[in-house]
Chain A
């Protein structure tokens, strides 16, 4: 794969200040780079901002999808490293939302020269409760989630609308329903969901060797505060900031404190 192929595969966009530190913004499950639309303006003046979509999300190249590659978070981490290589990025600050926070940890392990710091937004290294660990979900919860995805419940995804309606001659019908926001291919989303919600990356946290900021929300049904505390404890030398925000997407529900926490962390880096 050439560099251009990789940049097309992941729909990479580069914006902001070309002379600033490079910040890679990585979306989580069920979303695409639109997730960062309130973050980019806060970073663009002083940072070069790199955005991308994971394969299967947004405007990535669906033909690049390989179920076996993306059956583990490593596959996504390799994509991140390849994007960094294609742009020859070094010492980037990797801002990962939700499952992407863990993908960033894995990518930093794969390419330490590429990734120099991590911002973990609402991270969770394991969603399912375990002995002495509360991830917020029971195994049955996650089974139900995966089952609902597998049976393509409309309840789950507005991306189902075009699948059911099958209206290629009137794409606007599908677009209206999905609101063209965080577009995700349902089949590929199923693979990503399984990879995400069955993952257990707790052991990877202690291997982090770069400055790390952990951002959690006061009320997050996906990643409860116990999980934020766990990540903070496990990542050596990490900083934990609890945002006064509800929900799992503080970059949208509380953009100002989120952006402030990120920019303060970035300016603290040498």
Chain B
């Protein structure tokens, strides 16, 4: 509760406040104009300066007499500012009657530059005639420095991003070249046979671990292999490289398929044993064409790899009414596809002693052998793990192409892979080896 009567303390404070207000009231409009913390400027419509406050004169380092009636507003600007004034500022002001917050540079008396923010408005007469332009000028040195810093950072960020993208492109290019080096540039021509291959890379960022090759063993026989190294990236690629060279060298030494895989097993196990085990699955085989019959004997062995598919043409041209090698994907002409079972073979490189399963078959004219990696059979065709494409679906699909050339088959499978879209997230290698149908043989 306040005591009645005067409080000497409070009275002093009140008087001081009154004095401060009085000082404010004595600050005339003229003083407010001249000493304002921003620049004021009034010009005629042609830009001639009619009035300017002391603050702005002080910033510019100019005398009033040298400015009023003698200079136009653009004369205060830098060359860039003049051009901007002529092409943007003045037209916009004319169009809109006002313009605000435009960043310009004033040229001061010493030839230096003063960054400012300028706002202008046109004063009109009662009849709507434009009379003069009122302009306020704010010192924008700090703001300009801040904006420049923002711009500098933004440029640095853009440059860093550009560099990162270039690095990434270079890396992808290097990896694509490396990937290509892991695959044969072209398959060798095998008399009486046709070959086709396809490699699908799941991601340009990652080196795939699938591999295949076909090469002559002697003047009669050819060897082939196809496999899948566990893992991805440069380390998997190194295993792929070692695997290819080992298999080719092993085949020269002993072309028996199980023996070649055993050699590979020993090399991988010794090389990658211990802390960083690396292993692969593969099918290695030998083709032995019989020029007398036109048939091709196949011996192969598998180390934990999905079973090869044997495509039987089912009949030969001249056997029935629906003749022709391209009777189409419907399989109505009796073409079929069966797995060449190689159950239970070991993964290669995981155990010091491994057992590999061998199998053999004979391909007649029009028949073919298809090797593939699990990228195709494990492609997702819906949501969840239960909806992978699967080996049976693959078998049924290729059966439709059993009586056609192998490049048609591989082309169809490539289309199938493309159709999986996002569902195909692994690399996939395909290798098809077909015996030419009699009609495909030259001068048959």
From A4-12, A46-54, A232-240, A244-252, give the one contacting chain B.
A244-252
Number of contact residues on B: which range applies? 20 to 34
Chain B: interface secondary structure?
A: helix
B151 touches A249 (CB 8 A): no
Pick from B87, B91, B115: contact of A28, CB below 8 A.
B87
CB distance from A48 to the nearest CB of B (A): 25
B72 touches A154 (CB 8 A): no
Residues in chain B near residue A149, CB distance under 8 A: 80
B80 touches A144 (CB 8 A): yes
From A63-71, A80-88, A156-164, A201-209, give the one contacting chain B.
A156-164
Q: Does any Cβ of A come within 8 Å of B60's Cβ?
A: no
Give the residues from 211 to 230 in chain A that come closer than 8 angstroms, CB to CB, to chain B: 219-222
Given A164-B147, A164-B150, A252-B94, is A155 in contact with B86 using a C-beta cutoff of 8 Å?
no
Pick from B74, B87, B95, B148: contact of A30, CB below 8 A.
B87
Residues in chain B near residue A152, CB distance under 8 A: 151
B144 touches A30 (CB 8 A): no
Residues in chain B near residue A253, CB distance under 8 A: 90-91, 94
Pick from A141, A145, A148, A158: contact of B88, CB below 8 A.
A158
In the bound complex, CA of A202 to CA of B148 (Å): 38
Q: Does any Cβ of A come within 8 Å of B246's Cβ?
A: no
In the bound complex, CA of A179 to CA of B90 (Å): 13
CB distance from A29 to the nearest CB of B (A): 8
A137 touches B79 (CB 8 A): yes
A221 touches B75 (CB 8 A): yes
Q: Does any Cβ of B come within 8 Å of A166's Cβ?
A: yes
Mask: chain B, 118-158; 1 = CB below 8 Å from A; 0 = not:
00000000000000000000000000100110110010000
A148 touches B87 (CB 8 A): no
Residues in chain A near residue B87, CB distance under 8 A: 28-31, 35, 182, 248-249
Residues in chain B near residue A157, CB distance under 8 A: 84
In the bound complex, CA of A63 to CA of B90 (Å): 31
In the bound complex, CA of A222 to CA of B74 (Å): 10
A154 touches B147 (CB 8 A): yes
CB distance from B95 to the nearest CB of A (A): 8
Pick from B72, B75, B84: contact of A156, CB below 8 A.
B84
B104 touches A249 (CB 8 A): no
Q: Does any Cβ of B come within 8 Å of A265's Cβ?
A: no
Residues in chain A near residue B74, CB distance under 8 A: 221
Residues in chain B near residue A133, CB distance under 8 A: none
CB distance from A28 to the nearest CB of B (A): 7
Give the residues from 28 to 53 in chain B that come closer than 8 angstroms, CB to CB, to chain A: 46-47
Mask: chain A, 58-80; 1 = CB below 8 Å from B; 0 = not:
00000000000000000000000
Q: Does any Cβ of B come within 8 Å of A198's Cβ?
A: no
A145 touches B147 (CB 8 A): no
Pick from B47, B80, B91: contact of A153, CB below 8 A.
B80
Residues in chain B near residue A154, CB distance under 8 A: 103, 115, 144, 147
Q: Does any Cβ of A come within 8 Å of B83's Cβ?
A: yes
A148 touches B94 (CB 8 A): no
B151 touches A155 (CB 8 A): no
CB distance from B6 to the nearest CB of A (A): 58
CB distance from B117 to the nearest CB of A (A): 9
Mask: chain B, 64-104; 1 = CB below 8 Å from A; 0 = not:
00000000101100111111101110111011100001111
Given A144-B79, A181-B91, is A164 in contact with B154 using a C-beta cutoff of 8 Å?
yes
A163 touches B72 (CB 8 A): no
Interface, chain B (partner A; CB < 8 A): 46-47, 72, 74-75, 78-84, 86-88, 90-92, 94-96, 101-105, 115, 144, 147-148, 150-151, 154
What would be 6 A-B contacts, judged by CB atoms less than 8 Å apart?
A29-B87, A156-B81, A177-B101, A181-B95, A182-B87, A249-B91
A30-B83, A246-B46 are known; give 7 further A-B pairs, CB within 8 A. Answer: A30-B88, A141-B79, A155-B115, A156-B83, A156-B84, A177-B101, A221-B82
7 tightest A-B CB contacts, nearest first: A248-B86, A154-B103, A155-B105, A246-B46, A148-B80, A145-B79, A156-B80
Interface, chain A (partner B; CB < 8 A): 28-31, 35, 137, 141-142, 144-145, 148-149, 151-158, 160, 163-164, 166, 177, 179, 181-182, 219-222, 246-249, 252-253
